[in-house]
Amino acid sequence: MKDIRVAVVVSNSPVNKTGHNLDQAARWIKIAKNQGASIICFPEMNITGYSVRTDISDTAEPVPGPVTDKLLNLASEENIVILAGMAEKDENGHIFASHLVVKPHKDFDVYRKLYIAPPERPIYTPGDKIPMFETKGVKFGIQLCYDAHFPELSTHMAINGADIIFMPHASPRGTPDEKLKSWMRHLPARAYDNSLFVIACNQTGDNEKGLSFPGVSLIIDPSGNIIKKNVTGEENIIVADLKAGDLSRVRNNRMSFFLPNRRAGLCNSL
């Protein structure tokens, strides 16, 4: 990978207020660009808002569609890669929790959440692909909230070349400190076990549909150490430089880089 500066946003995203949320995203994008970031990551479903009520279907949009068009324009105007979330509706009416990877010059990809949490299952359809993304000299994967609880997904991404895994959340309940304590049980392990950077962020505040989010953002290095965090519970942005040297230092140490010694077929036989 190449050295890269990333921005990570904690934002309030009311449901059914897509225009408002896009305007707020545009504000954060300008701030990130002014701080020299090449990639900005927003929380899960920050554009449409996150909801487990059936009326999210009225807010969901096709991809490509109006949200995609707006983000493509912002990416080109600011020359920045935007990772932003939305409720996506396909041609058959299925609803996905999706995260867009929007690049300058009118290029985009999409990740559909793979692991649907129990409260989400009446509404959302799981994705069926594990895409990898490449831009600005880095290769990365995306996991949305509940996805991060399945270690084999991170291992798959690492084996397929990920330098970074972005983990946007819409994780309600609890205080910011309680959310941080919860994340510290598993997110540093995903980074450490797979020798890659992990970047996580969460929605904050009232979604106006019965859920409240505690915020929190984290940037974790390939040794599982926190590079930067924000636990204020308020809307905010953190910016950090991810260094190629920090990645290669771990991966060039035969006792710290575990993946080359993985016996891929062993567990399949049990």
CATH of the domain at 164: 3.60.110.10
Q: Is the pLDDT of residue 149 over 80?
A: yes
What pTM value is reported for the model?
0.97
Domain span at 50:
4-260
Q: Which ranges in the chain belong to alpha helices (H)?
A: 18-34, 56-59, 66-78, 151-159, 176-194, 244-251
Compute how many other C-beta atoms are within 10 angstroms of the C-beta atom of residue 30: 15
Q: pLDDT tier at 264 (50, 70, 90 boundaries)?
A: confident
Q: Would residue 266 count as lying in a domain?
A: no
Task: pLDDT band for 56, please (50, 70, 90 cuts).
Answer: very high
Report if residue 164 sits inside a domain: yes
Cα–Cα nearest to 201, from 23, 39, 19: 39
pLDDT band at 159 (very low <50, low <70, confident <90, very high): very high
Dmax over Cα atoms in the chain, in whole Å?
53
Residue 22 is assigned to a structural domain of this protein: yes
**pLDDT-derived band at 269, boundaries 50, 70, 90:** low
Strand arrangement of the beta sheet that strand 226-230 belongs to: 133-135, 138-142, 164-169, 197-202, 217-220, 226-230
268 domain residue, yes or no? no
- Segments of 79-144 assigned E as strands: 81-89, 95-103, 107-112, 133-135, 138-142
107-112/95-103 β-pairing: antiparallel
As a whole number, the mean pLDDT across the chain is: 96
The total number of structural domains that make up the chain: 1
Domain membership of residue 91 (yes or no) is yes
Contact, 38 vs 81, CB < 8 A? yes
Is residue 267 in a domain?
no
Q: Has residue 265 been placed in a domain?
A: no
In a domain, 10, yes or no: yes
Mean pLDDT of 218-242: 97
